């Protein structure tokens, strides 16, 4: 059973990368970005393409990051230049990406199996530490990766550009009076966010050993859920705490779904109830402050 | 407190005694990508054959944990992990992405896949004859070339064949490539219409009207889910519709040549039973459907203004030709 938790934690850390991306748009920029459902499989698709072309995982990840940034930039341009509302801009990019991802992959499902001669980051890691169980190797690596990303993002958000991005989310008009173009900040923020999301896609593709065109479905929701769960669990408004909240939230959220799948059936839980469970979990957490206020007063 | 302790101890002993006395149950984890009639039929066929043929009765000497990923790839991975940590005796994985998730999750627990069209390019097995490792199964590769040949045989004057499929389904993309090849070999042109969801199917079918002499639909999940829409368009415009799945021939199709997914599940059980008896999955070659069905829909025959007697004679001839090649075919009529 312990092993099951270890795997859920791994997945939580992997999705933590995606959640950090969602955090930048959703919390820093106040921009609900639905591009995620398309840029997540985009990262995976581009990564797979590079693998099939014979490149190593390093190149695949670099190209995935770039592709994600371009996808985000596209959404940003739709919003800032064409003045299309935020939600719609994301949805439009997401729809376009479905066809683009199919084009990139050439087919809807690509295997990264060792049988077909692919060596992903995880197989390389496993072979580098043959005496350590694979699950621990992955766990240590993923912890390292997410901590590295966390501090990178923390540092970035403290720079002048980072501060301007956060200010844009709070008050666009004020930012403009300071001589900063809020549109530029949005473009940078959304690109960065989707680069992270695509990285998560590329990493998850390696983790599961294949890419499927439908792997992006519901990713925005799981990213948002992670952000919100983290905020409820950990208090604090500093950047350091906020990014930590996202990572913790992502791990807890994955554990919750794993537990629902694992023990839910003993209380009459059916596999198709999972989405309802996810929805209810987010609703309860979102309603938490209101409930507390109402019942706290009474 | 002491008394409670004693009671608990007795209960524990009793439980242990029961546990030792009871026969060890075989545990099988079943995972499928989504609830879908064909995939559910595979699962049911598997469970039925395990009971009727091999004496594995649920709750008695076998236990199933059937899970569906509801189309969510991340969930498929979690389900696979669940089975691996519970150390089930065997995993039955239905459809391609679920099988990939299972294969990625364990190198020890035997995996039997089902309803996977191309197990080699999916990275499930290295070789169909000698899978090696802990994985084997059954491919639902539908006899595309025979289906196209049937269309040409029934309608020799046909030049262009229309087809609909979802470009997002890997199995459909594979069968479509085969259909294109089969058409080219027979001097036919394949006119493709792709859909992204069931909502697009009616319009896509309509777009083929006037461009094609017959429509062919393979085992695509999206199009089959909205097959009524295709059937309506075909009946209204008097276009013969030929399918790969005999179970859906009632939805306005003229005939269907293929296998039954329920029997597919039963055939999967044969493989699973061999593994439970001690054979290594890696030594069992990947199987294909053993039995084909050719099912005609008399209502459509009438609606298209075809002669039932002529058609039957032709179909009989076609079946005989296939049987000469060693393929077992059952010719039938929809009631």
- Enumerate the H helices of B53-112 as residue ranges: 73-85, 96-105
pLDDT of A4 higher than 80: no
B103 with A262: Cβ contact below 8 A: no
Tokens of B219: 């085992």
Q: What are the E-state strand segments in chain B?
A: 26-32, 62-68, 90-94, 111-116, 135-139, 160-166, 189-195, 214-217, 241-243, 255-258, 287-288, 291-296, 328-333
Q: Which residue of chain A has the CA closest to B77? A: A208
Query: Which two structure tokens, joined as six digits, stand for B239?
Result: 């276009």
Taking phi over 0 as left and psi of -120 to 50 as alpha, with beta for the rest, B34 belongs to: beta
Q: What is the pLDDT of residues A80-115, one digit of tens each?
A: 999 999 999 999 999 999 999 999 999 899 999 888
Answer whether B81 sits within 8 Å of A4, measured CB to CB: yes
**Does the beta-carbon distance from A108 to B168 stay under 8 Å?**
yes
Contact list in B for residue A218 (CB cut-off 8 A) is 72
CA dihedral angle for residue B136, residue B137, residue B138, residue B139, rounded to 10 degrees: -60
Nearest Cα residue in chain A from B30: A271
Mean of per-residue pLDDT scores for chain A:
91
Range A242-261 average pLDDT: 89
Q: Is the dihedral of CA B12, B15, B19, B21 positive or negative?
A: positive
Average pLDDT over residues A179-207: 96
Q: Is B75 close to A261, i.e. CB distance below 8 A?
A: yes
Which residue from B minimizes the CA distance to A113? B123
Q: Do A208 and B103 touch (CB under 8 A)?
A: no
Closest B-chain CA to A9: B78
Residue B58 DSSP one-character state: B
Interface predicted TM-score (ipTM): 0.78
Identity of the residue in A7, A111, A261 whose CB atom sits nearest the CB atom of B123: A111
| Reported confidence tier of residue A233, pLDDT bands at 50, 70, 90 | confident
B-chain CB neighbours of A204 within 8 Å are 74
Q: Which helix (H) or strand (E) holds B145?
A: helix B144-154
Q: Which ranges constitute the DSSP H helices of chain A?
A: 2-23, 36-52, 57-80, 86-105, 121-128, 134-158, 160-170, 172-177, 182-208, 219-233, 239-263, 274-297
Sign of the Cα pseudo-torsion (B21, B87, A278, A253, in order): positive
Q: What is the DSSP string of B269-324?
A: HHHHHHHHTT--GGGSPPEE--EEEEEE-HHHHHHTT--HHHHHHHHHHHHHHHHH
Question: What's residue A266's pLDDT?
Answer: 65
| Residue among B138, B139, B119, B116 nearest B127 (CA) | B119
Residue A6 in contact with partner chain B when CB distance is under 8 A: no
Query: Among all residues of chain A, which has the CA nearest to that of B119?
Result: A111
Q: Do B168 and A215 touch (CB under 8 A)?
A: no
Q: Which of B123, B117, B127 is closest to A112 using CA atoms?
A: B123
Closest CA to A110 of B307, B32, B122, B18: B122
Q: Is the CB of residue B85 less than 8 Å away from at least one CB of chain A? A: yes
Query: Which positions in chain A touch B84 (Cβ < 8 Å)?
Result: 3
pLDDT for the residue A221: 87
Nearest CB to B170; choose among A8, A108, A112: A108
- pLDDT score recorded for residue B162: 97
Q: Please state, in angstroms and rounded to a whole number, the distance separating the CA atoms of residues B71 and B74.
A: 9
CA distance A235 to chain B (A): 29
pLDDT over 80 (residue A279): no
Low-confidence ranges of chain B (pLDDT < 70): 1-23
pLDDT value for B9: 53
Contact indicator for B240, B215 with CB cutoff of 8 Å:
yes
Question: Does residue A185 surpass a pLDDT of 80?
Answer: yes
Q: What is the tens place of the pLDDT at every residue in B158-197? A: 999 999 999 988 889 999 999 999 999 999 999 999 998 8
> Within an 8 Å CB–CB cutoff, is residue B168 touching chain A?
yes
| Nearest Cα to Cα of residue B226 among B252, B254, B198 | B198
Residue A15 to chain B, least CA–CA distance (Å)? 10
pLDDT score of A278: 72
CA B64 to chain centre: 20
A residues 221..240 contacting B (CB < 8 A): 222
pTM for this entry: 0.83
SS (H, E, C) A184-232: HHHHHHHHHHHHHHHHHHHHHHHHHCEEEHHHHCCHHHHHHHHHHHHHH
All residues of chain B having their beta carbon less than 8 Å from the beta carbon of residue A261 are: 67, 75, 78-79, 82
- Relative to beta strand B90-94, strand B62-68 is unpaired
Contact between B334 and B250 (Cβ < 8 Å) = yes
Q: List pLDDT tens digits, range A145-169.
A: 999 999 999 999 999 999 999 999 9
Please give, rounded to a whole number of angstroms, the shortest distance from the CA of A238 to a CA of chain B: 31
pLDDT at B19: 46
Interatomic CA distance for residues A28 and A18, integer angstroms: 15
CB atoms within 10 A of CB A130: 8
What is the arithmetic mean of pLDDT over A166-195?
A: 95
């Amino acid at each position: 059973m312990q092993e099951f938790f270890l795997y859920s934690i791994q997945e939580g850390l992997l999705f933590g990368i995606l959640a950090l991306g969602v955090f930048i748009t959703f919390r820093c920029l106040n921009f609900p970005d639905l591009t995620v459902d398309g840029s997540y499989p985009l990262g995976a698709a581009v990564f797979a393409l590079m693998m099939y072309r014979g490149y190593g995982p390093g190149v695949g990840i670099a190209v995935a990051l770039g592709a994600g940034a371009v996808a985000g930039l596209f959404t940003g341009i739709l919003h800032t230049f064409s003045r299309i509302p935020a939600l719609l801009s994301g949805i439009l990019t997401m729809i376009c990406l479905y066809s683009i991802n199919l084009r990139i992959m050439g087919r809807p499902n690509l295997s990264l199996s060792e049988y077909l001669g692919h060596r992903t980051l995880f197989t390389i890691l496993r072979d580098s530490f043959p005496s350590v169980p694979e699950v621990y190797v992955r766990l240590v690596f993923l912890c390292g990766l997410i901590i590295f990303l966390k501090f990178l993002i923390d540092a970035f958000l403290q720079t002048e550009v980072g501060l301007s991005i956060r200010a844009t989310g709070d008050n666009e008009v004020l930012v403009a009076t300071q001589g900063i173009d809020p549109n530029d900040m949005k473009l940078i923020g959304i690109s960065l966010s989707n680069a992270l999301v695509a990285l998560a896609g590329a990493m998850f593709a390696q983790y599961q050993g294949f890419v499927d065109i439908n792997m992006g479905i519901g990713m925005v929701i799981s990213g948002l859920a992670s952000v919100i769960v983290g905020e409820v669990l950990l208090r604090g408004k500093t950047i350091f705490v906020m990014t930590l909240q996202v990572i913790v939230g992502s791990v807890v959220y994955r554990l919750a779904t794993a537990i629902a799948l694992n023990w839910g059936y003993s209380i009459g839980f059916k596999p198709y109830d999972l989405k309802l469970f996810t929805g209810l979990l987010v609703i309860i957490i979102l309603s938490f402050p209101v409930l507390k206020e109402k019942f706290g007063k009474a | 407190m002491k008394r409670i302790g004693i009671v608990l101890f007795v209960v524990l002993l009793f439980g242990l005694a029961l546990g030792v006395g009871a026969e060890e149950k075989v545990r099988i984890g079943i995972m499928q990508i989504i609830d879908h009639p064909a995939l559910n039929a595979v699962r049911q066929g598997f469970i039925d054959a395990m009971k009727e043929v091999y004496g594995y009765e649920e709750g008695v000497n076998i236990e199933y944990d059937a899970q569906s990923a509801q189309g969510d790839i991340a969930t498929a991975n979690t389900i696979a992990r669940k089975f691996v940590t519970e150390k089930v005796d065997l995993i039955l994985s239905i459809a391609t992405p679920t099988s990939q998730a299972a294969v990625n999750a364990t190198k020890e627990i035997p995996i039997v896949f089902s309803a996977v069209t191309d197990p080699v390019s999916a990275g499930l097995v290295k070789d169909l004859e000698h899978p090696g490792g802990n994985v084997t199964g059954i491919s639902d590769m539908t006899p595309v070339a025979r289906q196209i040949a049937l269309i040409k045989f029934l309608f020799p004057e046909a030049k262009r064949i229309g087809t609909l499929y979802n470009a997002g389904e890997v199995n459909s993309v594979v069968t479509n490539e085969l259909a294109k090849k089969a058409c080219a070999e027979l001097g036919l042109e394949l006119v493709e219409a792709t859909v992204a969801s069931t909502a697009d199917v009616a319009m896509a079918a309509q777009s083929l009207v006037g461009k094609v002499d017959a429509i062919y639909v393979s085992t695509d999940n999206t199009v089959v889910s909205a097959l009524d829409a295709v059937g309506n368009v075909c009946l209204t415009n008097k276009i013969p519709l030929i399918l790969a799945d005999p179970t859906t021939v009632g939805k306005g199709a003229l005939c269907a040549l293929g296998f039954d997914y329920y029997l597919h599940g039963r055939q999967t059980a044969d493989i699973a039973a061999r593994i439970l008896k001690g054979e290594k999955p890696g030594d069992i070659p990947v199987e294909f459907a053993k039995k084909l069905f050719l099912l005609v829909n008399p209502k459509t025959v009438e609606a298209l203004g075809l002669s039932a007697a002529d058609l039957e004679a032709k179909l009989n001839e076609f079946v005989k030709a296939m049987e000469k090649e060693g393929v077992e075919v059952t010719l039938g009529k929809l009631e």
